Structure 1
Amino acid sequence: MQWIKQALSTLIGSEAERLARTFLEQQGLRFVMQNYRCRTGEIDLIMQDQDELVFVEVKYRSNSQHGAAIEFFHASKKRKFESAVMHYMQEKGFNPSIVPHRIDLVGIEGKGQQPHDINWLKSI
């Protein structure tokens, strides 16, 4: 039963990331990669906004009864995310003090085929 929950969660997460990517591309950002993983964490999307790298965390909730999706990116999650960003930059040979970059958060709320509410927070 646990593997079914995990598989469903993975499918939902992939769909949320697809929605976020489409939304960000409509806003003029260019896709770089998805699901960068390292020992310190994961980056859902990496995009390019002109000359700036944008590292995106995507949060999804089917409803906001227990809080908005963006509220689930708490301090400890942000620290792990920042660590993954530094790992990516180091791996690619990018100096974080020279290469412009930021962390954005995309919160998606809604269920099924109905329109989704998308909240985009830049430079969190």
Structure 2
Amino acid sequence: MLSSAHALGQAGEAAAADFYRQAGYTIRAQGYRHGRAEVDLIAQRGQELLVFVEVKTRSGGQYGTPETFVSARKKELFRLAATHLQEELDWRGDIRFDILALTQLSQGFRIEVFEDAFY
């Protein structure tokens, strides 16, 4: 078990990137920042889809499920960062906003994907 919340978050983001790679996506960015907004992970599938991923990692279910920790303000900042990146890349394909919820187990993580989680 990981001891610090920071280490747990880093391990969760690495597991999330591996999850998307194994699903056939290319990782375009991790920890993408625009102003006050941060997108944990940006994954791309071919030339048709760009996925903006909010990764939520928890050590257990005692405080609720990870996906419930994405606030309305976080979603708004997330959308602003996504809009900026689309302009920067001149992206013409589809986009999707996912929440990837990871719960730490004794061996690895339980992963739940919420595709099209908002917007």
So what's the TM-score if we normalise by structure 1? 0.82
Number of paired residues?
A: 113
User: Quick check: 1:35–1:42 contact (8 Å CA) kept in 2?
Assistant: yes
In the TM superposition, residue 109 of structure 1 has moved relative to its aligned partner by 0.4
Aligned partner of 1:101 in structure 2 is 95
Secondary structure at 2:108 match in 1: coil
Secondary structure of the 1:58 match is strand
SS in structure 2 of the partner of residue 84 of structure 1: helix
Work out which of the residue numbers 55, 65, 70 in structure 1 matches 2:67. Answer: 70
- Name the counterpart of 1:115: 108
How far the C-alpha of 1:70 sits from its partner, in A, is 0.8
Give me the whole-angstrom Cα distance separating, in 2, the residues matched to 1:115 and 1:18.
Answer: 11
Greater helix fraction, Structure 1 or Structure 2: 1
Distance 2:49 2:89 in 1: 15
Match of 1:90 in 2: 87
Residue segments in structure 2 that go unaligned for 5+ positions in a row = none
Measured on the aligned residues, the alpha-carbon RMSD in Å equals 1.6
The CA deviation string for residues 16-69 of structure 1, in whole angstroms up to 9 with x for no partner, is: 110001111112222111111111300111101232011111001100111001
Q: Percent identity?
A: 33
Tell me if structure 2 keeps the 8 A contact 1:40–1:83. Answer: no
Separation in 2, partners of 1:12, 1:117: 13
| 2:77 counterpart letter in structure 1 | K
Do residues 29 (structure 1) and 28 (structure 2) align?
Answer: no
Cross-structure match for 1:20: 16
Q: What letter is aligned with 1:123?
A: D
2:78 alignment partner, one of 78, 81, 85: 81
**Normalization by structure 2: what TM-score?**
0.85
Partner SS, residue 60 of structure 1: strand
